[in-house]
Amino acid sequence: MASRRRVKIARMRRRVHDILDGGVSDWVARSAHAALIVLVIASVTAVVLETVPSLDARFAAVFLAIEVASLVAFTIEYALRIWTAPDSAPYSRKAPWSARWAYARTPLAIVDLATVLPFYLSFFVPADFRVLLLLRLIRFFKLARYSPGMRSLVAALQAERKALAATVVIILGVILVMASAMHIAEHDAQPDKFGSIPAAMWWAAVTVTTVGYGDVVPITVAGRIIASMTAFMGFLMLALPVGIVATVFAEEIHRREFVVTWSMVARVPLFASLDASEIAEIIQYLRAQTVPANTIIVRRGDVARSMYFVAAGEVEVQLPHATTRLGEGHFFGEIAVLRKTRRTATVRATLPTKLLLLDAGDLQTLMANNPEIARRIEETIAARGDFARLEPRGDMTAEEIADPTDKRS
């Protein structure tokens, strides 16, 4: 009885982990993520608006209700994430409490804690309201958990942290050198502003960063020459971190798109026997197509010349006796790349959809140029009798029209 209860709790914990961390894509997970995103936006907006006296006096009850709802939801979310940490892949081999402690020290977990900490701290520690306000605004960074773009940016910053740290050291060195030079040039003319190197460093910092407030300016010829050199070097120095982040961010986005595309192609039964390098060669022949909602992509009875991957969005497959929907990561028209057939279904985009197309001619060219890929695909066809038995007029296989929920799991 106890073992059955433990199994039930373990399954429940795994389910909660999948919902919170995007391990599944059913309506429960989508609803939970949407609710958390709405709460983050609403709570941050309320924190900002309640600093306006007129709005605070008029909508104080609304702001309080949003704050209470956010606190309850974020506290439950944080507790559930700590509880389900042993089911997370990076900590799956650790003991449960060790896994939870390891997760609690991650940046995302610290942000989650900081979103609820101000409320609980206010009961025990007297604190300045402005400090608590700042901690409440940290909730904005919870959106990074639900934004692939922000996660890619964080990954890029982490990957190049050493290079970025080096650029910070270089910039600080330039500020120190230029402040020292300006102190030597201007300390007699303006002792109140450049009388010491620390005082001159304020001018150097705002000049290197190209802000230039104009509250402190050189008046000697030597000082103006140094100021010109400092401003010029500021442009060069600031371009370093910007270039590093932009390059790595673009590479991270490309890498993520490649991984997603690779997983879609690898899922197709026709290419099941190919290794990673051979699938990568097929990916090079894919071309993108974006279609708006309610657009007919293919019609039943048309000659099939391409297969399609759903990179984003959703399509509806209208079969003669049934209708099914395929979401992100699914494919259709696999047989079209094997031989000239007729479409067995009409496929319509139900949402704005991004498709990746593989033309039959391109695959045939690849197979002609790479005998090893051709051999592996032919072996797959020979091993799967349903390819050979498929009637010439059909281009859909059972895998393509299966329940989308089953394919995602």
Residue 115 CB burial class (10 angstroms; 0-12, 13-18, ≥19) = buried
Which residue intervals of the chain bear CATH 1.10.287.70?
161-255
Amino acid 288: pLDDT: 85
Residue-wise pLDDT tens digits, 95-125? 888 989 998 988 888 888 888 877 777 767 6
Amino acid 407: pLDDT: 42
Q: How far is CA 158 from the centre of its chain?
A: 14
Span 206-228, mean pLDDT? 87
2-146 homologous superfamily: Voltage-gated potassium channels. Chain C (1.20.120.350)
Position with higher pLDDT, 308 vs 118: 308
Q: What is the pTM of this model?
A: 0.56
Position with higher pLDDT, 62 vs 390: 62
Which residue intervals of the chain bear CATH 1.20.120.350?
2-146
Label residue 409 by pLDDT band (50, 70, 90).
Answer: very low
Amino acid 404: pLDDT: 44
> What is the Cα–Cα distance from 207 to 194, expressed in whole angstroms?
14
Q: Encoding tokens for residue 177?
A: 């050198």
Amino acid 405: pLDDT: 45
> What is the Cα–Cα distance from 378 to 114, expressed in whole angstroms?
57
Q: How far is CA 88 from the centre of its chain?
A: 18
Which are the contacts of 346, defined by CB distance < 8 A and separation ≥ 6? 296, 298, 299, 300, 317, 318
Out of 6-10, 95-99, 182-186, 221-225, which region has the weakest mean confidence (pLDDT)? 6-10
Domain 161-255 in this protein, CATH class: mainly alpha
Kind of pairing between the strands at 287-291 and 306-312? unpaired
- Element containing residue 347 per DSSP (H, E): strand 346-349
Query: CATH classification of 269-408, choosing from 2.60.120.10, 3.30.420.40, 3.40.309.10, 3.40.50.880?
Result: 2.60.120.10
> What is the Cα–Cα distance from 277 to 147, expressed in whole angstroms?
30
Which residue intervals of the chain bear CATH 2.60.120.10?
269-408
Label residue 384 by pLDDT band (50, 70, 90).
Answer: low
Among 354, 297, 314, which Cα is nearest to 25's? Answer: 314
Residue-wise pLDDT tens digits, 23-50? 555 678 778 888 888 988 998 898 889 8
> What is the Cα–Cα distance from 197 to 184, expressed in whole angstroms?
9
